[in-house]
Amino acid sequence: MTDTELLKLVRSKANTWLKSDIDSDSKQQIENLIQNDEPELIESFYKDLEFGTGGLRGIMGVGTNRINIYTIGMATQGLCNYIKHQFPDNKEIKVAIACDSRNNSQLFAEKTASVFSANGIKVYLFEDLRPTPELSFAIRKLGCQSGAVVTASHNPKEYNGYKVYWEDGGQIISPHDKNIIAEVQKIKDVSEIKFDDSLKNVEIIGKKIDKAYIKELSKLSLNPKVIKNQKDLKIVYTPIHGAGVNLVPEALKAYGFKNITVVEEQRMPDGNFPTVKSPNPEEPAALELALKKAKEIDADIVMATDPDGDRVGIAVKNSNNEFILLNGNQAAVLLINYLISQWHAKGKLKGKEYIVKTIVTSDLLKDIADKYNVETFDVLTGFKYIADVIKNQEGKKKFIAGGEESYGYLAGEFVRDKDAVMSCALLAETAAWAKNGGKSLYEELINIYIEFGFYKENLISVVKKGKSGAEEIQKMMDDFRSSPPQTINKSNVMLIHDFEKQVTYDQISHLRYDINLPKSNVLQFILKDGSKISVRPSGTEPKIKFYFGVHEQLKKREDFNKVNKQLDVKIENIIKSLRLNK
C-alpha cells in the first residue's frame, strides 16, 4: 500500500467515526488530528487493535488503533455475539469483570459491563480495582462463561487494555481469540454497539469473593509450622500504585506473617504512577523506594507487584548483605524447587504430577522436575498456554506450579493465570523455609546451581514503534528465517525451532521434526555448547525480543563470581555475534 492509499484509507475510517454516534469530545479530537496532526491520525486509524498474547492493548486515545470506550465497546459487542453463539442452550450466560488502577480503567470496566448488560448477559462487576488473578478465580467460582479485565499490565501510563477470559478461567486462546476478532470485524459502525447505562443485569461483587480467594490461596501453604517459627520475617512490599495493595498484605497475614511493611509512597492506587517511570517490576527503577525501605529496616525479602497484580519482582540479600534483584527465571527456580521438594518431602508425589514453563523460560526448571520424576510441559510464551495445559490435564494429572521468565508464576488449579498475590505468599514462605534452615534465598539459589548447573539468562528488547516499526520487526524475523546463522559465538547452530512453521530443523542430519504446539512467530537456535537463543516479536508491545540462555558447571560456592562473569561474557559475545549491539 502506498502512502497515498494509506492516508486515503485512514481518512475514510476517521470520517466514518465522525459520522457515527460518538460523543462530541471524541469528534473534536478526530477533527483536530485531521487538521493538525497527520502522523498521529495515521497511527490512530491505520489498523484495528487485535488480540495478542495479552489481549487488546494499546495507547489510550481516539481511533480504531487506540483504547477508548468505542474500541472497548466493539470488542465487547463482538465478544457478546460470540458467547451467545457458543452457549445457545444456557438459560443464563454469566461474565465477570475487573479492572486495575490505570486511568480510565473503572470507566472502561463499567462500559464493558454496560455492553454485556444490554445484550442480556448477567454481569458480576467488582466494586473497585482487583488483581487480575482474582478475576480468573471469580469466573470459575461464579460459574461464568467468560470474563474481562481492564488493564495494560506493566505498560507505561499512557496504555490501557482489555483481556478476555473463557469459562475455564484462562485467557482466550485459538480458536476463540480469532473467532472473537472475526465477530468484532463484522461491526462496521460504533452505532452497532449496544449500551445499557442503567446496568440492569449487573451485580456488584467484592469482599465475599476476596474471602473465598484468600481461603483457597491459604490451602497452598506447605509449611505452616515453619512460618510460625519465622512469623517475624521482615517483608517489604510495594503495589507500585496498583491493585495488589489490599490482597497481597492480606494473603501474607493469612499465611501467618506478622512483619509486613508496605511502601507508603506507592500504597495509593494511581494511574499516573507518580513515583516511577514505568510500573514494571522487571525494571530496577520500579523497586528503588522498596529497596530504600528494606535497607532502613534490614528486611529479609522485598516484593513488588505490577498494576494488575499478576507479576512480582523480588529482591534478596547476597553474601555481602547487599540487596540484589532476582530475575524472573531465578524467582521461578526458587519457588518451583521449593514446591516440588516439599511435595516430595511430604509424600505428595504420586507419579502424575507436572509443572509447566514457557519455551523461553530457564531449562533449569526441567532439570529440577526431572530429579523428582515430575513431568515438564513446554508451551508458547503467554500464560494462557499454561492455563490450557492445566485445563487439558485436569482430572488426569496434578499441576504443581508453572512459571515464565517475565515474572509470572502460579501454583494450584483454582486460578488459571499468573498470580502475584499467590506468588508473594509462597515466595515469602520459601524465604521463611530457607531462613528456618539457616540459609538465605540467595544461598539457596547458589545451592541449586551447584546441584544442577549454573543457568543464566538475559533478554534484549529492540523497540520499533508504529507502522514502520512493525514492518521492520517482521523483516528481521523474515531475514532470520531465510538466512539463519550457521554459527553464533563460534558455536555451531545444531537445531532451529521454527514455531511459526511448526518444524525443527536439525542442522547436522538435515532432518525435520514436527513441533506439536500452536503456530507462533518465534525462532529458537540451539547451539553445540548448549546455549539457547530465542527471537520473537512481542504480542503486546512494539518490540522484538531476544532471549539468551547459557549455562556452566558450578562446582563450589567460592567459584560463583568467576562462573557468573564467564556466563556474562558468553552472553555478551552472543549479542555481538548477532550484531544486536549496533
Q: In terms of domains, do 464 and 507 share one?
A: yes
Is residue 43 in a domain?
A: no
Instruction: Say whether pLDDT at 540 is over 80.
Output: no
482 and 360, same structural domain? no
Are 86 and 113 in the same domain? yes
How far is CA 113 from each of CA 272, 280, 334, rounded to the nearest angstrom?
A: 24, 28, 40
The rounded Cα 581 to chain-centroid distance in angstroms is 27
Residues 228/433, Cβ–Cβ less than 8 Å: no
Is the confidence at residue 54, as pLDDT, over 60? no
Asked if pLDDT for residue 7 goes beyond 60, the answer is yes
Nearest to 54 by CA among 170, 167, 158, 190: 170
For residues 272 and 250, state if they share a domain. yes
Task: Tell me, yes or no, whether 196 and 288 share the same domain.
Answer: no
Q: Where does a domain end: 181, 205, 229?
A: 205
Q: Tell me: pLDDT of 51 over 70.
A: no
Instruction: Label residue 50 by pLDDT band (50, 70, 90).
Output: confident
167 lies in some domain: yes
Whether residues 81 and 139 fall in one domain: yes
Residue 3 falls inside a structural domain: no
CATH of the domain at 259: 3.40.120.10
Grid coordinates given for 122: 448477567
Number of domains the chain contains: 3
Which structural domain, as residue segments, surrounds residue 395?
219-452
The catalytic residue positions are 153
Rounded distance, CA 369 to CA 57, Å? 35
| Cβ atoms 515, 497 nearer than 8 A | yes
pLDDT in tens, 303-355: 999 999 999 999 999 999 999 999 999 999 999 999 999 999 999 999 999 99
- Do 546 and 489 share a domain, yes or no? yes
* Residue 2, domain member (yes or no): no
At 98 the pLDDT is 98
CA 267 – CA 521 distance, rounded (Å): 39
Give the end of a domain, one of 391, 420, 452.
452
User: HSE-up of 81 (CA within 13 Å, CB side)?
Assistant: 17
Quote the strand ranges of 186-278, DSSP E: 202-205, 235-238, 260-262
**In a domain? residue 582:** no
Task: Classify residue 529: in a domain, yes or no.
Answer: yes
For 65-123, the DSSP string reads: TSBSHHHHHHHHHHHHHHHHHH-TT-SS-EEEEEE-SSTTHHHHHHHHHHHHHHTT-EE
Interatomic CA distance for residues 340 and 440, integer angstroms: 19
Position 580 confidence tier, pLDDT thresholds 50, 70, 90: confident
Q: Which residue has the cell 515438564?
A: 376
Residues 130, 112 share a domain? yes
Q: Is residue 553 part of a domain?
A: yes
- Note the pLDDT tens digit of each residue in 463-502: 888 878 888 899 999 999 999 999 999 999 999 999 999 9
Q: Which of 452, 477, 503 is the last residue of a domain?
A: 452
Residues 226 and 333 in one domain: yes
> Looking at the structure, do residues 245 and 189 belong to the same domain, yes or no?
no
Could you give the CA distance from residue 126 to residue 526 in angstroms, rounded to a whole number?
46
pLDDT tens readout for residues 68-88: 999 999 889 999 999 999 999
| Residue 537 within a domain | yes
Bridge partners, residue 303, by sequence: 237, 314
Comparing CA positions, the residue from 350, 344, 425, 359 lying closest to residue 389 is 359
Supply the DSSP symbol for 309: S
571 and 508 assigned to the same domain = yes
User: How does pLDDT run across 161-203, given as a tens digit for each residue?
Assistant: 989 999 999 999 888 888 888 888 888 788 899 999 999 999 9
Same domain, 247 and 299: yes
